[in-house]
Chains A and B, each alone.
Chain A
Amino acid sequence: MKKIINDPSAVVDQALYGMALAHPDLLRVERDPAVIVRADAPIAGKVAIISGGGSGHEPLHGGFVGAGMLDAACPGAVFTSPTPDQIVAAVEQVNGGAGVLLVVKNYTGDVLNFATAAELAGADGVDVRTVVIDDDVAVKDSLYTAGRRGVAGTVLLEKIVGAAAERGDDLDWCAAVAAKVVANVRSLGLALNGCTVPHVGQPSFALAEDEVELGIGIHGEPGRQRLPMEPADALVGRLVDGVADDLSLSSGDQVLLFTNGMGGTPLVELYLAHGIAERLVADRGVQVERRLVGSYVTSLEMQGMSLTVLKLDDELTELWDAPVRTAALRWGV
Chain B
Amino acid sequence: MSCATEDVVAVVRAAAVTVREHRDELVELDRRIGDGDHGENLMRGFTAVTSKLDSHVPDTPGAVLKLVATTLISTVGGASGPLFGTAFLRAGTAVGGLYRLDGAAVAAALEAASAGVIARGRADVGDKTMVDALAPAVEAARAAVGGSVAEVLAAAAEAAERGASSTVPLVARKGRASYLGERSAGHLDPGARSTALLLRCFAGSGRFADSADRG
Residues 61-85 of B at the A interface (beta carbon under 8 Å): 73-83
How far is B121's CA from A85's CA once the two chains are assembled, in angstroms? 20
B36 partner, pick from A82, A138, A204, A217, beta carbons under 8 A: A204
Which A residues are in CB contact (< 8 Å) with B76? 83
Query: Is B59's beta carbon under 8 Å from chain A?
Result: no
Which B residues are in CB contact (< 8 Å) with A219? 35, 176
B35 partner, pick from A113, A145, A197, A224, beta carbons under 8 A: A197
Which A residues are in CB contact (< 8 Å) with B120? 112
With A84-B73, A108-B174 known as contacts, the answer to whether A221 contacts B37 (CB < 8 A) is: no
With A79-B37, A145-B173, A197-B36 known as contacts, the answer to whether A109 contacts B81 (CB < 8 A) is: yes
Query: Is A46's beta carbon under 8 Å from chain B?
Result: no
Please list 5 pairs of residues, one from A and one from B, whose beta carbons are closer than 8 Å in the complex, sorted by A's number.
A77-B37, A77-B44, A109-B81, A146-B175, A221-B34
Which A residues are in CB contact (< 8 Å) with B181? 140, 224
Residues 126-146 of A at the B interface (beta carbon under 8 Å): 138-140, 144-146
Which secondary structure dominates where chain B touches chain A? helix
Query: Is A208's beta carbon under 8 Å from chain B?
Result: no
With A84-B74, A222-B183, A224-B181 known as contacts, the answer to whether A108 contacts B176 (CB < 8 A) is: yes
A56 nearest in chain B by CB position: B35
With A77-B40, A107-B176, A108-B175 known as contacts, the answer to whether A200 contacts B77 (CB < 8 A) is: no
Query: Is A81's beta carbon under 8 Å from chain B?
Result: yes
Which B residues are in CB contact (< 8 Å) with A112? 79, 81-83, 120-121
Query: Is B93's beta carbon under 8 Å from chain A?
Result: no
With A83-B75, A112-B82 known as contacts, the answer to whether A146 contacts B178 (CB < 8 A) is: yes
Range, interface on chain B: 20 to 34
B74 nearest in chain A by CB position: A85
Which B residues are in CB contact (< 8 Å) with A109? 77-82, 176
B75 nearest in chain A by CB position: A83
Contact with A along B152-190 (1 / 0, CB 8 A): 000000000000000000000111101111010000000
Number of interface residues of A (CB under 8 A): 38
How far is B35's CA from A222's CA once the two chains are assembled, in angstroms? 9
Cβ–Cβ contact A149 & B77, under 8 A: no
Which A residues are in CB contact (< 8 Å) with B8? none
With A108-B121, A219-B176 known as contacts, the answer to whether A200 contacts B31 (CB < 8 A) is: yes
Contact with A along B1-40 (1 / 0, CB 8 A): 0000000000000000000000000010001001111001
Chain B nearest Cβ from A33, distance in angstroms:
8
Chain A nearest Cβ from B128, distance in angstroms:
11
Which B residues are in CB contact (< 8 Å) with A107? 79, 176
A221 partner, pick from B77, B80, B81, B179, beta carbons under 8 A: B179
Give the top 8 A-B pairs by smallest Cβ distance, nearest first: A112-B82, A108-B79, A109-B78, A109-B79, A219-B35, A80-B77, A200-B36, A85-B74
B129 nearest in chain A by CB position: A108
How far is B181's CA from A224's CA once the two chains are assembled, in angstroms? 7
B176 partner, pick from A84, A116, A221, beta carbons under 8 A: A221
